[in-house]
Amino acid sequence: MIAFLRGRVLDKHPNRLIVDVQGVGYEVHVPLSTYYDVGEEGADVVLRVHTHVREDALQLYGFLTALEQQVFERLIGISGIGPKLAIGVLSGIEPRELIAAVQRADLARLTAIPGIGKKTAERIVLELRDRLQQLAG
């Protein structure tokens, strides 16, 4: 399993980077916050990685901070939320703001995130309220 990448940004698109690690290019899906903070093409980058294995694909999801990765991994643990939607959530709200919204049960803030409807927002609050509390500190 790939858990960490250090290399150079070879190509950069919103929600996707190609990281050159000693001549091997890794496609890494990232939230917009990571996309904006990695620097320009050619910049050195260090990413924490979640490797997602499916029957038909192996996908890498990268994060600049441990908090982003931890929130992502808790989101994909919710029934009905896959990695693509979890990246979308983290692209629509900063991790600390998401934690605060879940603790307040702020459904209006959660449904303002593209791709999150009322039922999904309710499920996020219900399933993550206790599990995100330890990350808030």
Instruction: Tell me the pLDDT tens digit for each residue of 18-30.
Output: 999 999 999 999 9
- Model confidence at 6, in pLDDT bands (50, 70, 90)? very high
Query: Across the strands, what pairs with 17?
Result: 12, 28
**pLDDT score at 131:** 78
Q: Are strands 24-29 and 58-63 parallel, antiparallel or unpaired?
A: parallel
Q: Are strands 44-53 and 58-63 parallel, antiparallel or unpaired?
A: antiparallel
> pLDDT at residue 136 above 80?
no
Query: What is the Cα–Cα distance from 29 to 11, expressed in whole angstroms?
Result: 12
